[in-house]
Amino acid sequence: MMPYLERLTRRIRAVDSFVCVGLDPQGLPVEEVIPHNRALIEATAPYAACFKPNLAFYEQFGIPGLRALEATLAAIPDDIPVIADGKRGDMPNTAAAYARALFEVWGFDAATVNPLQGQDATEPFLAYKDRGVYVCCRTSNPGSVTFQNERLATGQTLYEYIAEEASGWGANVGLVVGATAPDELARVRALAPTTTLLVPGVGVQGGDPAQVIAAAGSKPGLVVVNASRSIASAPDQAAAARNLRDALNAVSWTPV
Amino acid sequence: MMPYLERLTRRIRAVDSFVCVGLDPQGLPVEEVIPHNRALIEATAPYAACFKPNLAFYEQFGIPGLRALEATLAAIPDDIPVIADGKRGDMPNTAAAYARALFEVWGFDAATVNPLQGQDATEPFLAYKDRGVYVCCRTSNPGSVTFQNERLATGQTLYEYIAEEASGWGANVGLVVGATAPDELARVRALAPTTTLLVPGVGVQGGDPAQVIAAAGSKPGLVVVNASRSIASAPDQAAAARNLRDALNAVSWTPV
């Protein structure tokens, strides 16, 4: 298979869009998840660089939720990469089982992982060279500052150290950096100038698309920007995805 | 429901054992998981303070693996607490969905979580006051030192800061600290003298039971020590669990 980053870059160019559409069924009973997602995928696919189901919103329904995930994945056109947002992270042999689940059983193109357990715990994901691995670096929730912005003895913050360290773990590494902290996003970009970034937090969480591109860059392959609730709950989902695409494309970016 | 820690403490006293038996089906086809686990549960229950299925080893088989988890949970006697080892951690609204999955859908008594996203991301788990929440602090894999043992500007290491900070998040917080790092275990105990510890890493990973109790304490409720492969793959699983129980009980402990 073509490496994930190449597939993602081709798709970004094909639709001229950095938009990642989140597939996070919230506030719905499980029996409505499949029709809801099918409609959302159909409406937004023309503007979607990729789709990102957050596994929690399927797991919350138990096995019927995972059946809905199965049907959701089947509804996504083959040429659109799909990111499993599960933020898994554990001992190496456990991580290997998670990687097997996400990449072999479910067939995801990429996954988000939590780096707290270090490189050996991330390696089983990275070993799938044709898949992408987005390492959590600076998340978009207010409480993330407690540990992620903690100052180290070296003078760096923890998220800066994660960016610098994890970006060297392999060609298929990306970083997750929230749109709600544009200064941190620019800092990560400076530390990892060629690493692909997955940026959640525009839309309901309040991150500004223009600030995201100004900080993260606009070269295809360098960044995708996720919106979930702001697209899924819009009266016109296609228009919401298109408007986000246009807002991201309106910004020019000067490489750091 | 009685709080988790009280249920765990009662069970520890009832069987006079700090042993947590890991239910981590490795190296088996999915159709052998249910009979394997039923036999393991039956053999070890008399010595088990609690059971701990690691979710990855079920998820690696997709939906059939989760059916096997369902049958596994049904085979565990009601008076033995069960810990979901999934190390989940994400944004608050996502964490709420994970907590719903683990505590409401699956009915686990406790869960392991990853604290990298901070207190607000852990709060949805902690909100289930009758359940236990074990926060990853110092894990037992070699790569864990990269971030967890990193020195902060305050002089503490990250794992020490996690121990101090997270142990204040609620009465139902515990900490995960690996047996392979006994000095770190003693340090965590000093920082969080009354917090319950979940200690993996004895058995195959090489942690020494005597060192664990010497460092973590032997007061019922203060500690459970997990073994998975070393019990599951023993020719006599009951004897392996009993021997670990006896090794842990042989040590006397002086409070720090």
Q: Would you say B234 and B39 are in contact if contact means Cβ atoms under 8 Å apart?
A: no
CB contact under 8 A, A94 and B54: yes
What is the distance between the terminal CA atoms of chain B, rounded to a whole angstrom? 32
* Tens digits of residue pLDDT in B26-57: 999 999 999 999 999 999 999 999 999 999 99
Nearest alpha carbon to residue A87 among A130, A53, A51, A43 = A53
Chain B residues touching A70 at Cβ < 8 A: 63
Active site residue B87: yes
> B252 to chain A nearest CA, in Å?
30
Question: Angle at the Cα of A113 (from A107 to A114), degrees rounded to 5?
Answer: 160
Dist CA B201 CA B221 (whole Å): 19
* Tens digits of residue pLDDT in B193-239: 999 999 998 988 888 999 999 999 988 889 999 999 999 999 999 99
pLDDT bin (cut points 50, 70, 90) of residue B115 is very high
User: How high is the pLDDT of residue B204?
Assistant: 81
* pTM given for the model: 0.97
CB contact under 8 A, B140 and A94: no
Mean pLDDT of the B177-188 span: 94
Return the residue in B61, B83, B116, B199 with the most chain A beta carbons within 10 A, the one to mutate for interface testing: B116
User: How high is the pLDDT of residue B1?
Assistant: 84
Mean pLDDT of the B114-141 span: 97
Residue B154 has pLDDT above 60, yes or no: yes
CB contact under 8 A, B143 and A117: yes
Residue B114 forms contact with A (CB below 8 Å): yes
Residue A228 forms contact with B (CB below 8 Å): no
Dist CA A147 CA A39 (whole Å): 39
User: How high is the pLDDT of residue A254?
Assistant: 56
Structure tokens at B206: 């090489």
User: How high is the pLDDT of residue A220?
Assistant: 85
CB contact under 8 A, B162 and A147: yes
Helix (H) or strand (E) segment spanning residue B88:
strand B83-88
Residue A27 forms contact with B (CB below 8 Å): no
Q: Would you say B93 and B123 are in contact if contact means Cβ atoms under 8 Å apart?
A: no
ipTM value, please give it: 0.97
User: Can you say whether the dihedral through the CA atoms of B110, B113, B118, B121 is positive or negative?
Assistant: negative
What are the pLDDT tens digits along chain A (256 aa)? 899 999 999 999 999 999 999 999 999 999 999 999 999 999 999 999 999 999 999 999 999 999 999 999 999 999 999 999 999 999 999 999 999 999 999 999 999 999 999 999 999 999 999 999 999 999 989 999 999 999 999 999 999 999 999 999 999 999 999 999 999 999 999 999 999 999 998 988 888 999 999 999 988 889 999 999 999 999 999 999 999 999 999 987 654 4
* Tens digits of residue pLDDT in A173-229: 999 999 999 999 999 999 999 999 999 989 888 889 999 999 999 888 899 999 999
What are the DSSP calls for A71-125, one per residue? HHHHTS-TTS-BEEEEEE---HHHHHHHHIIIIIIS--SEEEE--TT-HHHHHHH
Q: Residue B176's CB: how many other CB atoms inside 10 A?
A: 26
What is the edge-to-edge ordering of all strands in the sheet holding B196-199?
B50-53, B19-23, B223-227, B196-199, B173-177, B132-138, B110-113, B83-88
Nearest alpha carbon to residue A225 among A50, A40, A53 = A50
pLDDT bin (cut points 50, 70, 90) of residue B254 is low
In chain B, positions 168-187, which contact chain A (CB-CB < 8 Å)?
A: none
Reduced to 3 states (helix: H, G, I; strand: E, B; else coil), residue A249 is: helix
How many Cα atoms within 13 Å fall on the side-chain side of residue B129? 2
Residue A3 forms contact with B (CB below 8 Å): no
3-state DSSP helix/strand/coil % of chain A, to nearest 5: 50, 20, 35
Indicate the burial class of A112 (C-beta count within 10 angstroms; 0-12, 13-18, 19 or more): buried
Nearest alpha carbon to residue A6 among A237, A208, A158, A172 = A172
Find residue A51's DSSP bridge partners. A21, A82
Chain A: residue whose CA lies nearest to B177: A117
User: How high is the pLDDT of residue B256?
Assistant: 44
Chain A residues touching B93 at Cβ < 8 A: 26
> A234 to chain B nearest CA, in Å?
19
Q: Would you say A152 and B150 are in contact if contact means Cβ atoms under 8 Å apart?
A: yes
Among A147-151, A214-218, B69-73, B105-109, the least confident range: A214-218
User: How high is the pLDDT of residue B206?
Assistant: 86
User: How high is the pLDDT of residue A256?
Assistant: 44
Residue A105 forms contact with B (CB below 8 Å): yes
Give percent of chain B with pLDDT exceeding 90: 92
Mean pLDDT of the B139-164 span: 96
Residue A74 forms contact with B (CB below 8 Å): no
Find residue B176's DSSP bridge partners. B136, B198
